[in-house]
Amino acid sequence: MNQIKTIIAGPCVIETAELLDTVAHKLVEINGKLGTDIIFKASFDKANRTSVRSFRGPGLERGLQMLADVKAKYGLRLLTDIHEAWQAKPVGEVCDVIQIPAFLCRQTDLLIAAAQTGKTVNIKKAQFLSGLDMRYPVEKARDAGATEVWLTERGNMMGYNNLVVDFRNIPDMLGIVPTVIMDCTHSVQRPGGADGKTGGDRRYVPQMALAAKAFGATGCFFEVHPAPDEGLSDAANMLELDKLEDLVGKLIADD
């Protein structure tokens, strides 16, 4: 079976420096045990929350400083997402991978700005697009100078407040780029389905990861938290931090 090569993990949103330290320390521990190079992910601003009352994060300036502190202290590579084109340049000065949110993957100016940083651009597939449709966002990024573009599968809308994953999107996107990531936690979301918040069911995260591996995915993305139910964003679908090591071990194994 295919071997997963790229692992991305971290809390959905930057809550506190203590949370970042807890997660980063665990990722370093896993890297040491398993020989992996897990990329640390956290968002400085969750600009697409369901409710205006939802926690968004510390913002760009403070958030990037906190991410830079993680890199300096733990030596981890960093990934974060941007929502506006002007954010690309400062984010590119700190992070190794710039992520384009699924809802924004057709935003030409956003893709161009991310590509022009020279950093890896990870484009999440929109909930309303097929895998084959993603050749157009990739084309925009490459035409703007991106040398490395990744694509991420995160499910498609199915009726109201639910997602379905068509794993055929993974080989379809592998025909466009060599690196295709499975977002194993956002794919178990129930968007807006929890009274003004996004719901979900983290029980299915391991199955999403193993199924993606079977379909040829080259990487997996996990939002993790030491106490997910206390998380300030995506609480219902984040994976428990203490379950990450065992799952990563299965994903990187040559079966």
Confidence of residue 3 (pLDDT cuts 50, 70, 90): confident
Which residues are CB-neighbours of 161 under 8 A, at least 6 positions away? 190, 191, 192, 193, 199
**7 or 58, greater pLDDT:** 7
Mark 215-254 as b/e (b = at least 16 C-beta within 10 Å): bebbbbbbbbbbebeebbbbbbbbbebeebeebbeebbee
**Among 167, 103, 172, 165, residue whose Cα is nearest residue 133:** 172
Q: What is the pLDDT of residue 217?
A: 98
The pLDDT tens digits of the residues spanning 60-109 come to 999 999 999 999 999 999 999 999 999 999 999 999 999 999 999 999 99
**46 or 149, greater pLDDT:** 149
pTM, entire model: 0.94
Q: What is the pLDDT of residue 192?
A: 63
Q: Please determine, for residue 198, whether its predicted confidence score (pLDDT) is greater than 90.
A: no
Query: Across residues 217-236, what is the average pLDDT?
Result: 93
**161 or 240, greater pLDDT:** 240
